[in-house]
Amino acid sequence: MRFFAATLALTATAASAFSPSVGVNTRPAFASRALSALNMAKSQDELKKEVGYKSVDDYVKSGMVVGLGTGSTAYFAVERLGQLLKDGTLEDIVAIPTSIRTKEQAEELGIPLVTLDTHSKLDVAIDGADEVDPELNLVKGGGGALLREKMVEVCADKFIVIVDESKLCDGLGPGFPVPVEITPFCHEHTLRTVAALPSCKGCKPVLRMGSSSSNVNDGDEIAVTDNGNYIVDLHFEEPIKDAPKMAEEIKNTVGVVDHGLFCGMTTAVIIAGSDGISVKE
């Protein structure tokens, strides 16, 4: 009997070594990392929502013509505009979308849409950015809508940029590649020509593959924009010394449609950070 009891005790002790203990974190390390990443993602989405909503609340008034940007941050500005139109807070608004994705979202929300063909002057345009430097120059176009974004936003009296603090940088380039939209005709020649420009010295040009809405290679086919063009992403290891000069040189290259450097266009940047929301003008 004593032998049987001892055996039971030994079995219980061995089993306890594999059993969860009270007060001990038994979640696998990979699960903890995944949960942490999920929380960070949710937090970033909340920041994007805050600046997206604030941009509409502070800068859009009834009767305006509004430019609607493209991307995960601009999504919330479009959402907010739809809400305020639906509840009657805003009236007589027409909007110009900068991509097919934004057009579809706006239509679902019942936002009246027009184009630059009928409304060449906008009161305000709201969009996100991939990088913002201290002079409020931007890199945009990670989502592939850079041409339509620039065409719309350059026509606005006010261009409001909405970002979280991770998009702020001391110099454009190293943190996010500069996209350049080029014609499909002789695209390899145009890619080499852009990379050889004096202002682009040291860059690594990469033809975007797969989806045009991501600068991460996710397919075997060349990415095609909403306008039927290709995108070359210019990767830099050092900060761009003169962004306006680079913008001019790239734009003047035959075969280039436009680029993702938005220089001298920004009215204000609404920034969401760990300490709250701030505005830089």
- pLDDT confidence bin for 2, thresholds 50/70/90: very low
Q: Is 108 tagged catalytic? A: no
Residue 94 CB-half CA count within 13 A: 10
Q: What is the DSSP string of 67-91?
A: EE--STTHHHHHHHHHHHHHTTSS-
- pLDDT confidence bin for 40, thresholds 50/70/90: low
At 79, the amino acid letter reads E
Per-residue pLDDT at 213: 85
* Chain segment 55-81, per-residue pLDDT in tens: 999 999 999 999 999 999 999 999 999
CA distance 30 to 36: 10
Which listed residue (131, 149, 153, 181) is catalytic?
A: 149
- pLDDT confidence bin for 191, thresholds 50/70/90: very high
0.95 surpassed by pTM: no
Q: To the nearest whole number, what is the mean pLDDT of the chain?
A: 88
Reading the block at residue 141, the tokens are 């176009």
Reading the block at residue 203, the tokens are 């860059």
CA distance 18 to 193: 63
Per-residue pLDDT at 44: 82
* Chain segment 134-189, per-residue pLDDT in tens: 999 999 999 999 999 999 999 999 999 999 999 999 999 999 999 999 999 999 99
Q: Are strands 65-68 and 122-127 parallel, antiparallel or unpaired?
A: parallel
* Chain segment 105-120, per-residue pLDDT in tens: 999 999 999 999 999 9
Per-residue pLDDT at 4: 39
